[in-house]
Amino acid sequence: MKRILLLAFILTGTTFALFPQDQIITRNNDTIECRITRVTRNEILFEIDTKGVTSSGKIPFTEIASYSVTNPPTGGSRPASPPGAMRPASPTGSIRPVLADTGPLSRLRLSLNGGAGYIFSSSEKAEESMVAWGIAQDNAEAYYNDLKLGIYGSGDITFMVTPGIGTGLRYKFFCTDAGVKGFFDPDDGMYLIYGTYSEHIYVNFAGVSLFYTESVGRSRKLSLYASWAAGLTLYRNETETFQGNFLIAGKSLGMDGTLGLEYRLTPSMALGAELSAFNSLLRKIEMTDGTNTETLELEKENIENLSRFELSLGIRFYLWNR
């Protein structure tokens, strides 16, 4: 009987020597007792011995909360440190957190957004001018309320210098239009002209951006981000009046600030929502009727304020894993 117990003890020790019990703890607080054979940038490979039958498996870092290695194997199968994680403090294998929440660092971030923008500058003086032409006050207010609200879209390409900081290029597009019909006073003391007054406004912006992001929550799939950009604003206004059609164009410096929230669907794709504030003042314009072109320096009280708030939803792509 003693010989049988001794033999069983030796066999048990041999089994544990061949299959040291490493541990992988998932984000669902499940524990996997195994032998870790390899750690790659994206996943951990392991083996499990069940009554002498060896099975292998793998688990991505996005599902791992922590792991430990009791006796790191030698040779080509030695586990490599995962991105953002530290090696165990001692050979006995203390549990260590996995800091890389979505695998390796994705150097390139692409973002596409679409939504609505609202120009928040005052239209009081413009409404007074329209009323002086003969348009009712209510119609003038409705006209400029329509003109302030428009369609907004943006695109970003960002190079991530670190997991949280990046720099790149930002493009924004905004368009809006409004129209009103009625009798207009040409101020000749004789006639009233029935016609249409309408505007189709297009604002493009392209600039250099700075980007910062930080994960929130235990799952690290949710993150907050902020960006700031400065660049060139291009303004185009196609105007139809009772006096004829005009094209008004101009350019100026623009600045943009953005706060956003995004949720990672996969390591390479996310959905997001963002609120942004855009600021640009147009001090000089060119006006043409197709024949004559005139450049105007706008007076202080007539400066065209293109500033607006924007709310949008979009999709993000994370590429070029390094």
- 279-288 pLDDT tens trace: 999 999 999 9
Of 10 and 267, the structure prediction assigns the larger pLDDT to 267
Co-location of 114 and 45 in the same domain = no
- Mean pLDDT lowest for which of 98-102, 128-132, 140-144, 317-321? 98-102
Co-location of 177 and 91 in the same domain = no
- Mean pLDDT lowest for which of 71-75, 134-138, 244-248? 71-75
Which distant-in-sequence residues (6+ apart) come within 8 Å of 201 by Cβ? 147, 150, 174, 175, 176, 177, 235, 236, 237, 238
- Mean pLDDT lowest for which of 104-113, 132-141, 162-171, 187-196? 187-196
Co-location of 185 and 134 in the same domain = yes
Contact 320, 106 (CB under 8 A): yes
Q: Which of 72, 97, 122 is the last residue of a domain?
A: 97
Co-location of 214 and 152 in the same domain = yes
Percent of the chain exceeding pLDDT 90 equals 46
Co-location of 47 and 133 in the same domain = no
Co-location of 239 and 290 in the same domain = yes
Q: Which of 66, 97, 128 is the last residue of a domain?
A: 97
Query: 313 pLDDT band (50/70/90 cuts)?
Result: very high
- 252-272 pLDDT tens trace: 999 999 999 999 999 899 999
Co-location of 151 and 216 in the same domain = yes
- 20-45 pLDDT tens trace: 578 888 888 888 888 888 888 778 99
Residue span of the structural domain in which 14 resides: 2-97
End-to-end C-alpha distance for the chain, whole angstroms: 59
Residue 171 pLDDT more than 60? yes
Number of domains within the chain: 2
Co-location of 174 and 199 in the same domain = yes
Co-location of 11 and 40 in the same domain = yes
User: CATH number for the domain including 162?
Assistant: 2.40.160.20
Strand partners, 210: 167, 228
| pLDDT, position 1 | 47
| pLDDT, position 118 | 97
Q: Which of 62, 80, 97 is the last residue of a domain?
A: 97
| pLDDT, position 232 | 98
Co-location of 176 and 293 in the same domain = yes
DSSP type of residue 92: T
Co-location of 160 and 76 in the same domain = no
